A and B are shown apart, each in its own frame.
Chain A
Amino acid sequence: MTEATTALTNAPLPTAPGRVSITRTVLRNPLGLTALIILTLIILISVVAPFFAPHDPSEVKIDKILAPPSADYLLGGDGAGRDVFSRLIWAGQNTLLGALIAVTIALVLGSVAGLIAGYFGKAFDAAFSWASNILMALPAMIVLLALYQTLGGSVYSTMAVFGVMLSPGFFRLVRNQVIAVKNELYVDAARVSGLSDTRIISRHILRVVRSPIIIQTSVIAGIAIIIQSGLEFLGLGDPATPTWGGMLQDAFSNIYINPPGILWPGLIIAATVASLVLLGNAVRDGLQGPRAAAVRPRAVPQHPHGHTAAQGAIEALDADPGKAPLLRVKDIQVGYGNTENPITVVRGVSFDVAPGEIVGIVGESGSGKTQTAFSILGLLPRGGRVLSGSIQFRGRDITFAPESEMQKLRGRDIAYIPQEPMSNLDPSFTIGHQLVEPMQAVLKISKEEARKRALALLARVGIADPERTFRSYPHEISGGMAQRVLIAGAVSCEPKLLIADEPTTALDVTVQAEVLDLLRDLQSEMGMGIVMVTHNFGVVADLCDRVVVMQHGRVVETNDAETLFYAPAEPYTKSLLGATLDDAPPRPPLGQKFLSSSSKGQNHA
């Protein structure tokens, strides 16, 4: 039963509900509003059933046994000659009350245990998690049947026990959320601010956990209603009390005489449960924005140049590739979102890379430098595409080349070094496998040959024990080593062009220096062109021949490195260079102030 509790809530839980009012969110969502109306109607009618129902639920009319609908019995009669319509609305009370009991117990038990386990951890966490796993390992229906006699044959006490069995659904949710929140820096900050545990829980933790709990409650309520109907269908409870499940049982025993009898109780159960789930979905969608799928037209990133892919064959623009630059990026625009109104992140960027040249693309966050790099590789994230402009590689236009053509270029001609070493290695495969597999695919060489090459490469990038690293899994090596492995992978097929996206940003400064040396050496050995995306002017000064400065998706200045550093043309470049602290004066000893003119940083204040 608990499988469904995770099923419908497995979408990432909202982390920043912010100002969004839950009620307003639901009312604005048409599906949510409909669900809310249906649910309110069902509850309302169930509550006022005594005044509303045309007949007493146990009133028997012999001539109405299995009768078709009529003015007297709106939905016909059941196997005992009772009014199906009246029983249906009376039954709501009983079924909903049972579900309410189960949900309340699950909610209180699960949330409190989850809060305690998550916040205080240790023994609490171990004990509660263990209990929760046990409860989850048991099929609820069978346990409830086994305990039915023990519980005195009452549906409500059975549902109370079911509430206990459902509590892991809340427990796991709350516990995981609390642990996630507890490790957030803002909770540390609150602690340093002098807040007590209870204050921290109520101010920070409950706020974050609240909406996931609401979503989970809707799902759990649905499960409770279904399981309760199932138990009643099997004959649990007082046969005289009308319940939806009991009505289905009656319909089942007359199924060969009156097949349509199963219709109404089934529909009302389904309608109630569906409304609950849709309501939960509406809350979730409102809190996390439109469903992820809606903004992700295709999951595997297709070639970015989607809309004109038809004209995709690679055309040779320049007959002599020797004269053309290695890479020519001309006035490209990169955008995300729908075709009519895309959000552009790169707005007309042009630059060339000559064979063997290292070109730096520098800019602050949001300048579009990484998007430019990805568009060259044809690997823009989901939803991104080149809107216009052209990318030429060795004289061939690859802007709108089909995926199959791009795949032939990647690895062999154009390679990529990512920023974050650890997340760029597949945790399930050995380092060796991740080097060998692409080499076999790209160079069409044997496994043994690829293995030899991989070992040689690992030695070349400065890994002390290549054999051992080859056999290791990514989690067994350090970040610096992982970046060397990624560099080895990038140069493994001797590419002509290397796209390096902040290749040293995640590394310690001493490791950074070593990796920069490695890149310089490899470049002079292999003579490849490099596009070096970075925010660090030191890295640019160390490595680059030419520099492209970007801001807000546009190129501000393109210059050779010496000119850029010693005679920058644009004020923006000047201000960026001025913000580096290399030449900023050291802080004078305590008791003396900066002379305002000598404080370099204060120029920008």
Chain B
Amino acid sequence: MINFLARRLFAGVVLILVITTLAYALIYSSAGNAARNILGENATADDVAAKARELGLDRPLHEQYFDWFSNAIRGDLGVSWFTSEPVSALLANRLPVTLSMVILAVLVTAVISAILGVTAAVRGGWLDRLLQVVSVIGFSLPNFWVALVLVVIFAVAVPIFPATGYVPMSESLSGWFLALILPVIALVLGGIASAAQQIRGAVIDVLDMDYVRTLRARGLSSTSVLLRHVLRNAAPPALTVLSLQFIALLGGAVVIERVFAIPGMGTLTINSSFQGDVPALMGVVVALVILVVIVNLVIDLANGWINPKARLQ
């Protein structure tokens, strides 16, 4: 088990290194006219050159990267070119907002899609057919459009929930919850349908296994076979579905934050992208990759705990 953990951890670190290196090369390669962007159209060529020198952009890319990297492992991700705030501080402000929204969304997705998927697999019939229809609809509606519809309904027509804005958890727990209701609904609608579909498939696969019949032939009730044996064997694929959901929700959060005016990672990414705020973008990438690695590690551990074979491999 330790061996298994160590290998996964190592793979995670490699992933972080590869992606940050790649991202650095790609993002900084376009940073050439960053100095002019910052100073505006009226700056003289000398001013621009001086600014570029100040930002270190005149040095070879690998040297810049080496500096950035050696600072980054000490937690210093540089300073935003536009607001002069440290990137780590920017992230510390934004990450909790997005994370609280995405974690809430993953939990909602997990609970609802598990219930829907298992019920559809076991009961079949109209519920199963309904799930097929809903999953096509859920997939086809862009989540930002669903968000817009929610804004129209709840901000314009029936103002029950706050349609925009964000309240930190530390300020007011109920305010935080109310502010996140609409964004989370918009985020999870598509994901629940597809996750439920996949969980349904996983459960049906296990229900068709020979050992399910044999266990029932031993006198176990179908309920206890379902709860103890079927769900346990269907869990690994379901967990993988949820880890992919997490990544999808992180991406989806960008647009949702824009619609609901939530000051999270998405808003930071959009602003930095349009301004060409390279250090801030790198910060976003680093934070995301670490997050993804942690989630995958947790899922791997859970799978190893559930599935005796995975532990050995």
Residues of A bordering B, CB below 8 Å: 1-4, 6-8, 10-11, 134, 136-143, 145-152, 222, 226, 229-230, 233-235, 248, 251-252, 255-256, 259, 262, 265-266, 269-271, 273-274, 277-278, 281, 291-293, 296-301, 377, 379, 382, 403, 407-408, 410-412, 414-416, 418, 420, 423-429, 434, 437-438, 441-442, 473, 475, 486, 489-490, 492-493, 499
Contacts and interface: CB of A to CB of B under 8 A. Distances in A.
B222 to A, nearest CB: 5
A301 B155 CA distance: 49
Contacts of B273: 145-146, 148-149
Given A140-B251, A234-B258, A252 B216 contact: no
Name which of A234, A300, A410, A418 has the most chain B CB atoms within 10 A of its CB.
Answer: A300
The 8 closest A-B pairs by CB, nearest first: A411-B219, A7-B194, A139-B251, A438-B218, A416-B217, A141-B251, A274-B140, A150-B30
Contact of A226 (B142, B198, B210, B276): B142
B94 to A, nearest CB: 12
Which of B248, B266, B276, B289 has most chain A Cβ within 10 Å? B248
B151 to A, nearest CB: 6
B105 interface: no
B161 to A, nearest CB: 16
B96 interface: no
Contacts of B139: 4, 7-8, 222, 273-274, 277
B247 A3 contact: yes
A138 B288 contact: yes
A428 B269 contact: no
A442 B218 CA distance: 8
Contact of B276 (A149, A151, A235, A273): A149
Contacts of B26: 147, 150
Contacts of A297: 124-125
Given A145-B269, A145-B273, A298-B124, A269 B135 contact: no
B78 interface: no
Contacts of A296: 124
B237 to A, nearest CB: 9
Contacts of B91: none
A424 B251 contact: no
Contact of A11 (B23, B201, B226): B201
Interface string B87-126: 0000000000000000000000000000000000111110
B75 interface: no
Nearest to B276: A149
A379 B26 CA distance: 60
B42 interface: no
Contact-residue bracket for chain B: 35 or more
Given A6-B244, A277-B139, A426 B152 contact: no
Interface of B: 15, 18-19, 23, 26-27, 29-30, 121-125, 128-129, 132, 135-137, 139-142, 144-145, 148-149, 151-152, 155-157, 190-191, 193-195, 197-198, 201, 203-204, 207-211, 213-222, 224, 226, 228-229, 232-233, 241, 244-245, 247-248, 250-252, 254-255, 258-259, 265-266, 269-270, 272-274, 276, 281, 284-285, 288-289, 292-293, 296, 306-309
A424 B288 contact: no
Contacts of A492: 218
Most A C-beta atoms less than 10 A away, residue of B123, B136, B272, B309: B136
Given A138-B292, A427-B309, A442-B218, A4 B250 contact: no
A147 B27 contact: yes
B49 to A, nearest CB: 20
Contact of B270 (A8, A10, A145): A145
A274 B222 contact: no
Contacts of A248: 144-145, 148
Contacts of A299: 121-124, 203-204, 207
Nearest to A133: B15
16 contacts: A6-B198, A137-B15, A141-B254, A142-B250, A142-B254, A147-B27, A234-B254, A262-B149, A270-B142, A298-B123, A299-B203, A382-B208, A416-B217, A428-B229, A428-B233, A441-B221
B215 A426 contact: yes
A428 B18 contact: no
Contacts of A407: 216, 219-222
B218 A270 contact: no
B169 to A, nearest CB: 23
B185 to A, nearest CB: 16
Nearest to B247: A139
A426 B144 contact: no
> By CB atoms of chain A within 10 A, which of B140, B272, B292 has the most?
B140
Nearest to A226: B142
Nearest to B296: A137
Nearest to A275: B140
A270 B189 CA distance: 14
Nearest to B151: A255
Given A266-B142, A428-B233, A473-B309, 6 more contacts: A137-B247, A138-B289, A418-B213, A420-B210, A438-B218, A486-B214
A561 to B, nearest CB: 26
B313 to A, nearest CB: 11
A145 B254 contact: yes
Contact of B229 (A10, A143, A426): A426
A146 B216 contact: no
Contacts of B248: 1-4, 139
A473 B308 contact: yes
Contact of B140 (A252, A273, A416, A441): A273
A146 B27 contact: yes
A410 B255 contact: no
A269 B233 contact: no
A425 B213 CA distance: 10
A415 B125 contact: no
Contact of B220 (A141, A269, A441): A441
A281 B139 CA distance: 13
Contacts of A265: 145
B303 to A, nearest CB: 11
Given A147-B26, A230-B255, A273-B140, A3 B244 contact: yes
A420 B211 CA distance: 10
A478 B219 CA distance: 25
A150 B33 CA distance: 11
